[in-house]
Amino acid sequence: MKVLLINGSPHEHGCTNRALEEVAASLKTNGVDSEIFWIGKGAIHGCIACGQCGGNSNHCVFDDTVNEALVKMQQSDGLIVGSPVYYASLNGALSAFLDRMFYAGACFHHKPAAAVTSARRAGTTATLDIIQKYFTISQMPVVSSQYWNMVHGSCPEDVEKDLEGLQTMRTLGKNMAWMLKCFEAGKAAGVALPQTERDYKTNFIRYMMQFKWEQ
């Protein structure tokens, strides 16, 4: 079993990475492999809705770190996304990265996922909420911890002093490992994954216009 941890910070060895390292160590202690994947600090193109990925082809026309991550995600059983807080939200590069990764990806359904945030002071819960929306639209069970998954500090040395934050990361690792083992036990016992229905694409504007005409 393996979990992909995405470091969405422009700082490869900053606060977000320190939080992910604590999760990775906890996963290892509990018998689960992991890999921290840094999205880099270069420009990441946003999704242009070209449709060339076919929606879930597992490959984007912009051949960059997004496609690298998609290959790694195909080989992983779980996902954790970490982000610093920028104006009470995730940073712009990670936002573009996740938009393209999840739209082009065909490797997310029924894989446990979690979000981790890092901030000097505030905006963490809003950022967690945004990241988790990628998971819940992709049929990914969300893994929780003993507190919201966040650490605080302006540098990794500050994060070392956030004892509760680091403990939250360790608990997150334990819970992710436990959920993955439960999934494996269920599979071994013959419990099949839920069958996905055909998508129904509705349009709110069309519905409202129809409703108005009917009045």
N-to-C CA span, the chain: 56
Name the band, by pLDDT with cuts 50, 70 and 90, for residue 55: low
Domain that holds residue 99: 2-214
pLDDT tens figures, 123-179: 999 999 999 999 999 999 999 999 999 999 999 999 999 999 999 999 999 999 999
Name the band, by pLDDT with cuts 50, 70 and 90, for residue 202: confident
Report CA-CA distances (Å) from 88 to 71, 127, 214. 30, 6, 43
> Is the pLDDT confidence value at 210 over 60?
no
> Is the pLDDT confidence value at 212 over 90?
no
Q: 125 with 112: CB under 8 angstroms?
A: no
Report CA-CA distances (Å) from 89 to 20, 86, 101, 150, 180. 18, 5, 18, 13, 29
* Token pair for 193: 């994954």
pLDDT attached to residue 208: 52
Which residues are CB-contacts of 17 (< 8 A; sequence separation ≥ 6)? Answer: 7, 9, 11, 36, 38, 82, 156
Total tally of structural domains belonging to the chain: 1
Lowest-pLDDT range of 13-27, 54-68, 93-107: 54-68
**Residue 9 has what DSSP assignment?**
S
**23/97 Cα distance (integer angstroms):** 22
- CATH number of the domain enclosing 105: 3.40.50.360
Q: 91 with 8: CB under 8 angstroms?
A: yes
pLDDT attached to residue 110: 97
pLDDT attached to residue 57: 77
Residue 30's CB: how many other CB atoms inside 10 A? 17
